[in-house]
Amino acid sequence: MKSLNQKMTVLGTVVDVQDLGFTLRLRTGDNLTVCVGAGTSFMVLSNLDGLIYDRFPEPDNVPVVAGDDDITKGIKYKVKKYICSGQKMYVQGTFFQNAGNERFEALAVRPFHYQPDKFLFEHHTHWWLSQMATMADQWLQSLFGDSRTYDESDFSRLYRTNLNIYGGKTDDDIQDMATLSRLIYGLSSAYLLLGDRRYLDAAAAGVDFQRTAFRSLSHDGRTIIWSHARRKLVNGNLTYIPSLMGDDAGTIPLYEQIYALAGMTQYFRITGDPEVLDDIMRTVRAFNTFFLDDSAVVPEYPGKKGYFSHIDPATMRADSPALAHNRLRKNWNSIGDHIPAYLVNLILALDPLPQGAGKDIERFLKKCEDMLDLTTDLIIEKFPEADCPYVNERFFADWTPDQGWQWQQNRAIVGHNLKIAWNLTRVANYYSYKGQDQKAKRAMQLAEQLGKAMVDAGLDKVRGGCFDAVERKPKSPGEIQFVWGNHKDFWQQEQNVLAYLILYGYTGTNLYRDLFRDAAAWWNTFQLDRDNRGVFFRVSDNGDPFISGRGMAGFDIAGYHSFELNFLAHIYLRTFVYSGAGVATKDDRSEAGADFCLYFWPAERSQIQSLNVLPDFMSPGVLDITSIKVNGKERKFMAQEDFQIPLQPDELGKEIVVSFRSGRLHKQ
C-alpha cells in the first residue's frame, strides 16, 4: 500500500522524551515515536464518578528557545508536564504511511496516574468501590426510579431484562430469569462491599420474585427447574419454561439453570436464609438428577462423567432426538461455569460447616466439594489440547471434541481460556487451604499454561485488552485469526483483569502484575460508559463503542460481570498488591491500603449460630480478621483460622461488619 492513514490506539511505556514528542515501547517490543501537536489533548484516567484526577505538578524548566511561537511553547509545556520516562499510558492518534515514511500523530494522551507508578485503579483505595456504587445506583434508578425501598411487587411490575443505553424501557418487556439472578448477584455483591442497605433490600426483593415467579418444583418437592422467562400480557402473564435463546431454543440449557443460583448464593452468604439455601439445594439436586452423565442414575447414559449441556423439557432427558445438535453434548458452560457461578460462594458460606447445621447440610457441603473436584478434574483432563494454545470448549458424550457444532466449529473464545486460568487459581487457593498441595499444583499448571499462552494467542499487545472469538487452528501458525472481527467484549475483559491479578497474587510473578495493569487500563479507559454510568458491551480494537443494537441491559449484559469484577478486583488488590507480594515494596504496603471490610446481615429467621466470612478462596495465612462490629459496636472475637464467627441470637437481624488485613503485611 503506497499510502495509508488510519486511527490507532496504542498502549506502551515511555522510554524517551523529546521536546515535541516521546517514544513509546509497546508490549510487542516495538518502539513508536509519538508526535505531539497543538490539537493533542492530555486526559488523566477517570472513573464513572466523574472526578478529575489530573494532579500533575507544574513543570520546571520548560525547554523554550528563542524563536518558539506560542503554539510550540504550549506543546513543550504539556510534554514537560505530563510525560516522563517509565510512564505507562494510552495514546490515541492517526498513523500515516506514505512512500515508505511513517508518522504517528497523537490526538489524545491518557496517563493512568499522576504519581510515578501509582496507577489510579491500583493505588486509589476507593476506585473499584466508587465504580460499583455508581453502577448499582444507576441500575436501581433505571428500574425503580426514585424509590428507596423495594419489594417483590416492584420487581414483578418494573423489572425488565432489556433496557436501552440510557437505562430506559424498550419495546421488549420480557423478564428473563437468568438475567434477574445476575442482577441479584450484583446487588448482593454491592452490599457485601459497600454496606448500603438499599442494595440488600433490592437483592432480597429480587430473590423473592425469582422464587415465586420462576420456580418449578418436582412432584415430590425434591428438585427445582427454573423457567426461562416471563412476559406480561394484556390479561395475565405467560411463563416460558424452555429457553427462547438462539441455539438453546426449545431446550432447558444447564447454563441457564446454573446462573439461576448466582444471585441466590451470593445473597445467602450475607443472610444465611434457610429457605434460599433449600432452593439452592433442590436446584443442585436437579443438576445431579437430570444433567449428570451417570449410568447409575440414568442407565441409558454412557456414564463418562460430567454434565450434559441440555435436556428436553418434555422428557427431561439429554438423549432426546428433539435436542438435535444439543443431544448428548457437554461444553464449557455445563462443566466450568458451576465453579464461578455458585460453587465457590456456596462453599465459602458452608465451609466450615455452620454451627448447629444438620446432617442434610453436611451432606450437601460434601456434594458441593465433590462437584468442585469433578469439574476441576474434567477441565484439567479433557479441555486442553496438545500443540494448541486454546482449550476445546464443546464435546460429545465420550469427551471427543465436537469441532463442528453450530457457530463454534473449531473456534476458541479467548475469555473462556482466561476464565479457566482465573478459576483454577481460585481452586488452587482452596486446595492449598485444605492442605491438598498436589491438587493445587495440578490446577496451577493449567492456570499458568493458559495465562502465558493467551499473551500471544489472545491479548492485543499493541492496544491492550483481549479479543473475542478466534480460530483454534489459524491459517498461518502463530497468528491470531479472528472469526467475526477484532472487537473486544466487556465480560471477557473482566476475565482478563481477574486472571492476571490472581495469578500475580498466587505466584508473585511480576509479568502477571504488568498484564493485570494492561487489562485494568483497558477496562477503565474504554469499557466504561461514563455518560450513562454503565459499561459498553462491545468496543472496537481501538476502544470505540458499538452502540447500534446495544443497551444498558440485555440477555448478555445484566449486572453480573461488571459487579463481579469490581467486587473481586477490590479484594484481590487489597490482599495481593498491597500485601507486598512480588514487586511491591515496603513503601507500597501502607496499612490503610491492605485493609478492607465486608458487610453481612444474618436474617432473624435463619437462626444461624455462626457466619463464614472468608471473602474468596485464599491460601493459608493470606488474610487476617482485624475487627468485627455488630450494629456499629465493636465486639470481642477470637481470630480463627477458619474465618467462622460465632453468633449470638441477639446478633441476628443486624449489620455485621468484618474488617480484614492482608496477612502478608506483618508476616514478611
Q: What is the DSSP string of 448-474?
A: HHHHHHHHHHTB-TTT-SB-SEEESS-
Cβ neighbors of 377 (< 8 A, separation 6 or more) are none
β 644-646/538-539 pair status: unpaired
Q: Which of 658, 556, 517, 536 is CA-nearest to residue 599?
A: 658
Percent of the chain clearing pLDDT 90 (strictly above): 91
* pLDDT tens readout for residues 341-361: 999 999 999 999 999 999 999
Report whether pLDDT(587) > 70.
Answer: no
Stretch (H or E) spanning 18:
strand 3-18
Q: Are 564 and 494 in contact (CB under 8 A)?
A: yes
Amino acid in the structure at residue 540: S
Mean pLDDT in residue range 133-160? 97
Report whether pLDDT(668) > 50.
Answer: no
Q: Are 333 and 254 in contact (CB under 8 A)?
A: yes
Stretch (H or E) spanning 88:
strand 88-98
Report whether pLDDT(161) > 50.
Answer: yes
Q: Which of 281, 279, 218, 227 is CA-nearest to residue 257?
A: 227
Mean pLDDT of the chain, nearest integer? 95
Cβ neighbors of 366 (< 8 A, separation 6 or more) are none
Cα distances (angstroms) measured from residue 637 to each of 348, 630, 642, 647: 20, 11, 13, 10
Q: At CA 306, angle to CA 302 and CA 312, rounded to 5?
A: 70
C-alpha cell at 89: 499510558
pLDDT of residue 548: 83
Cell match 504511511: residue? 97
β 644-646/610-612 pair status: antiparallel
Least confidently predicted of 173-182, 261-270, 471-480, 578-587? 578-587
C-alpha cell at 645: 464467627
C-alpha cell at 122: 491500583
Distance separating alpha carbons of residues 645 and 663, to the nearest angstrom: 18
Residues in the chain: 668
β 394-396/411-413 pair status: unpaired
pLDDT of residue 588: 46
Given pLDDT bands bounded at 50, 70 and 90, which one contains residue 538?
very high
SS3 per-residue string spanning 402-455? CCCCCCCCCEEEHHHHHHHHHHHHHHHHHHHHCCCHHHHHHHHHHHHHHHHHHH
Amino acid in the structure at residue 447: A
Mean pLDDT in residue range 390-394? 99
C-alpha cell at 149: 425501598
pLDDT of residue 589: 43
Q: Are 644 and 610 in contact (CB under 8 A)?
A: yes
The CATH homologous superfamily to which domain 3-118 belongs is Nucleic acid-binding proteins (2.40.50.140)
Mean pLDDT in residue range 105-114? 96
Report whether pLDDT(584) > 90.
Answer: no
* pLDDT tens readout for residues 49-64: 999 999 999 999 999 9
β 31-35/21-26 pair status: antiparallel
Mean pLDDT in residue range 490-512? 98
Q: Are 308 and 323 in contact (CB under 8 A)?
A: no
Mean pLDDT in residue range 437-446? 99
SS3 assignment, position 475: coil
pLDDT of residue 3: 87
Q: Which residues face 412 on adjacent strands?
A: 470
Residue 175: CA atoms inside 13 Å, Cβ hemisphere, count?
A: 24
Measured in whole angstroms, the distance separating CA 92 from the mean position of its chain's CA atoms is: 27
Amino acid in the structure at residue 533: R
Report whether pLDDT(312) > 70.
Answer: yes
For residue 153, the 8-state DSSP code is: H
Distance separating alpha carbons of residues 394 and 408, to the nearest angstrom: 8
pLDDT of residue 491: 98
Report whether pLDDT(387) > 70.
Answer: yes
Rg (CA), the chain: 26
C-alpha cell at 389: 494454545
C-alpha cell at 431: 486446595
C-alpha cell at 323: 435436542
SS3 assignment, position 111: strand
Residue 435 region by backbone torsions, left for phi larger than 0, else alpha for psi between -120 and 50, else beta:
left
Distance separating alpha carbons of residues 335 and 416, to the nearest angstrom: 12
Sign of the CA dihedral 514, 23, 37, 73? positive
C-alpha cell at 485: 472481527
Q: Are 28 and 461 in contact (CB under 8 A)?
A: yes
Q: Are 328 and 311 in contact (CB under 8 A)?
A: no
Given pLDDT bands bounded at 50, 70 and 90, which one contains residue 665?
low
Peptide bond into 340 cis (omega under 30): no
Distance separating alpha carbons of residues 668 and 664, to the nearest angstrom: 6
If one counts every other C-beta atom within 10 angstroms of the C-beta of residue 4, the result is 10
Q: Which of 489, 456, 502, 325 is CA-nearest to residue 396?
A: 325
pLDDT of residue 578: 79
Measured in whole angstroms, the distance separating CA 458 from the mean position of its chain's CA atoms is: 17
C-alpha cell at 200: 440488600
Report whether pLDDT(585) > 50.
Answer: no
Distance separating alpha carbons of residues 467 and 385, to the nearest angstrom: 20
C-alpha cell at 242: 424452555
Q: Which residues face 661 on adjacent strands?
A: 595, 624
Q: Are 145 and 135 in contact (CB under 8 A)?
A: no
C-alpha cell at 408: 463454534
Given pLDDT bands bounded at 50, 70 and 90, which one contains residue 592?
low
Mean pLDDT in residue range 442-471? 99
pLDDT of residue 137: 98
* pLDDT tens readout for residues 221-259: 999 999 999 999 989 999 999 999 999 999 999 999 999
Mean pLDDT in residue range 546-570? 93
C-alpha cell at 289: 438428577
Q: Are 513 and 583 in contact (CB under 8 A)?
A: yes
| Statement: 122-587 belongs to CATH 1.10.1200.10 | no
Stretch (H or E) spanning 387:
none
Measured in whole angstroms, the distance separating CA 12 from the mean position of its chain's CA atoms is: 25
Given pLDDT bands bounded at 50, 70 and 90, which one contains residue 640?
low
Report whether pLDDT(579) > 80.
Answer: no
